[in-house]
Homo-oligomer: A and B are copies of this chain.
Amino acid sequence: MDYLALYVTLKLAFVTTVFLMVIAAPIAYLLAYYHFPGKSLLEALVYLPMALPPTVIGFYLIIVMSPKGFVGQVWGSLTGGSLLFTFLGITIASIIYSIPFAVQPMKAAFSKIDRRLLENAYILGLSKRAAFLRVIIPNSVAGIAAAAVLVFLHSIGAFGVLLMVGGSIPGETKVASIAIYEAVETMNYSAAGMLALSFIPISYAFLLLINKLNRDSLS
């Protein structure tokens, strides 16, 4: 079994989940609590990565992240390096690819917060920002957990996008799903099955963790 690929996969899923929780929370908050012109359009844009086939997302990401692309140029002039075909590159791709799965459950959770709790927070002098951190977030743990589960598992399964942006470099960007793909393509079905089965305990362990965090925060 390709342990190195499995390791890269877990690292990627973990990093993506952590970053995305931080990035998605303010976006979800904006969508849940504010009304502004073009809001639905922004929302549609946020969800677009989900509606597009991974190869298409990958294609556009290559264009912007390549040394001649906008992001690639900025990055190159700052660090001298390239984004494509690096772990950082696939992390960014994976974050963009999974944004909708983080934003949507969080938005649903935020919008269910009892308005009266927020009113009390304002009365107690909390700014909107502080109320978000101290009241909305802790009372949305279930939704945030849902988001984390979706993002984590989705990053494990991400493959089309990562294959394109990552270039399948062992130890750096070759993730387990690429290994499975190779195994299936080369008719090595038992290896594919083995790798696929290895995802069950991983998902299982992650779910146990999230459920535990969720429960702890409630009791």
Contacts and interface: CB of A to CB of B under 8 A. Distances in A.
Contacts of A41: 204
Given A108-B109, A150-B100, A184-B56, A51 B142 contact: no
Interface in A168-215: 177-178, 180-181, 184, 189, 192, 196, 199-200, 202-204, 207-208, 211
Contact of A108 (B51, B108, B189): B108
A104 interface: yes
Contacts of A203: 44, 47-48, 51
Give the interface size class of chain A.
35 or more
A74 interface: no
A48 B177 CA distance: 13
A34 to B, nearest CB: 13
Interface in A53-111: 53-56, 59-60, 100-101, 104-105, 107-109, 111
Contacts of A154: 50-51
A206 to B, nearest CB: 8
Interface of A: 40-41, 43-45, 47-48, 50-56, 59-60, 100-101, 104-105, 107-109, 111-112, 142-143, 145-146, 149-150, 153-154, 156-160, 177-178, 180-181, 184, 189, 192, 196, 199-200, 202-204, 207-208, 211
Given A40-B204, A59-B184, 5 more contacts: A51-B153, A51-B157, A55-B180, A56-B184, A112-B143
19 contacts: A44-B200, A47-B207, A48-B199, A50-B150, A50-B156, A51-B153, A51-B157, A53-B178, A53-B180, A53-B181, A54-B54, A54-B159, A55-B181, A56-B196, A101-B150, A105-B105, A108-B146, A112-B112, A159-B160
